Amino acid sequence: MAKLSTIQPRIKTVDLRHGVGAGTERIRGGKLTKIRERILLRDLYTCQRCGRVGTDLVVDHIIPLHLSGREVDENRQLLCAACHAEKSEREERERGGL
C-alpha cells in the first residue's frame, strides 16, 4: 500500500470554479511586500497600461496564474486600480465567468 508521503507530491491544486489546475500558489505576507516594493521601483511607480503615476497601483500577473503564469518578476507589472479592474473583468469574461 502506498504511503501518504508518496502520494502527496502528485496531488494537484484545482480551481474548483472552473476545473482547471492552478498554475502556482499565490505569494502572501512579507514576501509579497518585498516583491511589491521591488516592482514599484522597477516600474517607477507608473501604470504599465495608461502611464498614470502614483501610489494607487497593483502588482498584476501579466499571464494569470490560472493560465500557468509564473511567480517571477518578468510576469509582473504595475497597473493602476482602473486598468487592473478592466484587465480582471476581461480575463473573467474570457474565462467564462461574467
Q: How do residues 1-50 score in pLDDT, each as one tens digit?
A: 555 555 445 444 444 444 444 556 678 889 999 999 999 999 999 999 99
CB count in 10 Å sphere of residue 69: 15
Q: Which residue has the higher pLDDT, 20 or 72?
A: 72
Residues 6+ apart with CB under 8 A from 33: none
Q: How many CA atoms lie within 13 A of 88 on its CB side?
A: 10
Q: How do residues 56-69 score in pLDDT, each as one tens digit?
A: 999 999 999 888 89
Are 20 and 66 in contact by the 8 Å Cβ rule? The answer is yes
The CATH number corresponding to 13-95 among 3.30.1490, 1.10.760, 3.40.1800, 3.10.450 equals 3.40.1800
Nearest C-alpha neighbor of 27 from the set 81, 65, 57 = 65
